[in-house]
Amino acid sequence: MIREALLVAGKDLRLEWRSKVGLVQIVPFAILVLMLFAFALDPDRGVLERATPGLFWVAVLFSSVLTLQRSFSVEAEDGVLDALRLSGLAPVSIFWGKVAALTAQLLVLEMILAFGVAIFYGTTFHSIGLLVVVALAATVGIAASGAVYGALAARLRSRDTLLPLLMLPLLAPVLISATRGFEIGLERQAGGGWTWAALLAVFALVYLILGSLLFRPLLEDA
Amino acid sequence: MTTVRDARPPTGTGSTGTRALGAVALVLLVLTIVYGLIISPPDRLLGETIRIIYMHVPTVLAAYAAFIVTAVSSAMYLWKRTEFWDLLGASAAEIGVLFFGVTIIVGAFWGKITWGVFWRWEPRLTTSAVLLLMYIGYLAVRAVPADTRTRATRSAIIGLVAVVNIPIVHFAVDWWRGLHQGRTVLSTIDPEMAGTQLFAMYLSMAAGIVVFVWLLLHRFRVAFLTERVEETGLDEAIAQRRAEGVSS
């Protein structure tokens, strides 16, 4: 199963590497969002600085939706999803492969965004350990729930408008927890950052299990 | 393929059972109005605004009942794959969204009177808003044209995902607001209630549940008949094409 999942993940990452859509479209979009926040919130009044954790994660969420759409629209075209089903790969492996590839892509995106906030918002990073764990747990959660809804919306004609509507409310707890985790990690606020990391881990775990169970009916019927 | 149903198509969604239930619902609603607005006294702390609770609580109760029905139906559909569970889940979700919307609107009015603002980032309000948006997503997917099995699988998966997310949203929002403020105003109501107030509250809850069941039965029947109409429409179209073929 792990070998099959790696195969799917490898295929997705290779595809991204060659097409560079993520690099030339999604990354610039994410940076653009950071700049838009600066235009909307006066940088001289400290609002931007105080809101950095939240703005960072909002930028991640918006870019994630784009990444997801991209990851599944390449499957939906030309009946690739059917080909995947016929390839003899277990649906569970396809799910884990998708999650792995999405996680990798989103982590790269987050690293670039972290540089972005360091440069544009003048953020300095403290408790690196907590920040990394929060980001990792949140990203796996986004990737796992996103793989389920991405596959579900892939064959819908109105997927571009439906996916954000489905994904963003689902990710509300991720936004809350990751933002609070980062606030504590950046030492803006005292408190137990690890509780938030734990909640994010629970979210990720729940959707990894749910996705493993639901991916078969998803591929076959949805 | 003539069956009894085909021979005598139904002209409505009512039956003796639902008419009786409808009558009970009506009586309970009238009693709720009488007790909630006239007989029960204003509250010591909340004054007249307590009367909003007699609408707020039953609607939220019915909405949660509806979402439970949707969750169970979604799981049952993925297991049994029958039209019954699909249509039941979808009908319940629709009513759930309706009741939840009413709950939030009524809650906002209460907020305006009590807090002076329509909205506060109070844990329950926030959780409710997120849940409402999740189920609106469910209905949006439901509205996309697709063949029956595809649509049913999609909605069953969303129904399950949404219900699993409820406790997570609840915890996240509770902890989030817990960092900024103490106990909420809403949670202090219950222990203060007694006598006619409590009776009006229970009465309204009973009314809410009965109205929900009544609506669910009718909505399910409408959904079932809609499916039949679509099937018949297809059969007729095929028959017409065949007739054209014969005559030419």
pLDDT at B7: 54
pLDDT tens string B177-208: 765 444 444 444 555 566 788 888 889 999 99
A209–B contact, CB cutoff 8 A: no
d(CA B90, CA B146): 15
Which residues of chain B does A162 touch, with a Cβ-Cβ cutoff of 8 Å? 137, 140-141, 144
What number of other Cβ atoms are within 10 A of residue A49's Cβ?
15
Give the whole-angstrom CA distance, residue B53 versus residue A37: 40
Q: What is the pLDDT of residues A68-89, one digit of tens each?
A: 988 888 887 777 778 888 888 8
Predicted local distance difference test score (pLDDT) of residue A95: 93
Q: Mean of the pLDDT values across residues A28-56?
A: 88
Q: Which amino acid is present at B88?
A: L
pLDDT at B183: 41
pLDDT in tens, A169-188: 999 999 999 999 998 888 77
ipTM above 0.90, yes or no: no
pLDDT averaged over chain A? 89
In order of their start, the domains of chain B are: 20-39+46-181+192-230 (1.20.120)
Nearest CA in chain A to B129: A169
CA separation for the pair B229, A76 (Å, rounded): 31
Q: Do A221 and B153 touch (CB under 8 A)?
A: yes
What pLDDT, on a 0 to 100 scale, did the predictor assign at position B184? 44
The predicted structure's pLDDT at residue A113: 94
| Chain-chain contact of A172 with B130 (C-beta, under 8 angstroms) | yes
- Determine, for residues A165 and B78 on separate chains, whether the beta-carbon distance falls below 8 Å: no
Burial class (CB in 10 A: 0-12, 13-18, 19+), A37: buried
In this prediction, residue B28 carries a pLDDT of 95
Size of interface A-B (CB pairs under 8 A): 89
The string of DSSP codes covering A134-146 is HHHHHHHHHHHHH
Residues in chain A: 222
